[in-house]
Amino acid sequence: MFKKYSIFIAALTAFLLVAGCSSNQSSTDSEKKVTLTISAAASAQDALEEIQKNYEKDHQHITIQDNYGSSGALQKQISQGAGADLFFSAAEDKFKKLVDDGDIAKKDSTELVGNEIVLVVPKNGDSPVTSFSNLAESEKIALGTPESVPAGAYGKESLTKLSLWDKVKDKIVYGKDVRQVLSYVETGNVDAGVVYKTDALVSKKVNIVDEAKADTHSPIVYPLGIVKDTKHRKEAKEFYEYLQSDEAMKVFEKYGFTAE
């Protein structure tokens, strides 16, 4: 009888040890390192990097990898199958293309933040430009390529609305994204540039001399969405929700974005 009891105890102990190991293994598996890739508009870089640092501090098994560029170029990359878990666009039309094509589900998307268009000049230069009203006096103006850079498209809308486009179009130096446009102004290679307010605020080398009124261009909205082919849906969803949190929104507002 005692022998049978001893065998039972030994078997039970072995079972509990195996179960415990399985439980620990499951716990370890659930915390496996995951790298999320977010393709994001270049204009969101500074705000996103601070937000991501905060997020990674509380989610140490998550590493967020950024792919910054113009929204048009990023949209094409995702359409062609480039690996991305989330898309944060500065252009609604580029984002809508992915939704229409089934690359992002509408239920997994949201209009996250807004922005403004401003006119900037080199801080330590002698630019003749003091506002949009005398922009035509400049020799060179930097603008994002309207077909692929949302800030360039919004800028062209404003310049057209202000009856300036025909006067300045031959003076424009185009940039592949808004950060390149900002760089042209910072280095004094142009007299002025049209960029997002958020980019102008993080630069110590430019001055904002004018703001484009909201009625001179389409509403500037930054949509965010989870890419349908993500291999890390759970983690992507959690970060997607965090980006909409009050904590993240305070950082966006700190960098000049407006809450939608």
Instruction: Show contacts of 185-190: CB within 8 Å, 24+ apart.
Output: 185/120, 185/121, 185/122, 185/142, 186/122, 187/122, 188/122, 188/124, 188/125, 189/140, 189/142, 190/138, 190/140, 190/141, 190/142
Pairing outcome for strands 141-144 and 192-196: parallel
Using only C-alpha atoms, what is the Rg of the chain? 25
- The answer to whether 151 is a known ligand-binding residue is yes
User: Is position 196 annotated in a ligand binding site?
Assistant: yes
Distance CA 49, CA 38 (A): 11
**Using CA atoms, how far apart are residues 16 and 8, in angstroms rounded to an integer?**
12
Look at the chain and count its residues: 260
114: its two tokens: 């807004």
Binding-site residue positions for molybdate: 43, 71, 151, 178, 196
Binding-site residue positions: 43, 71, 151, 178, 196
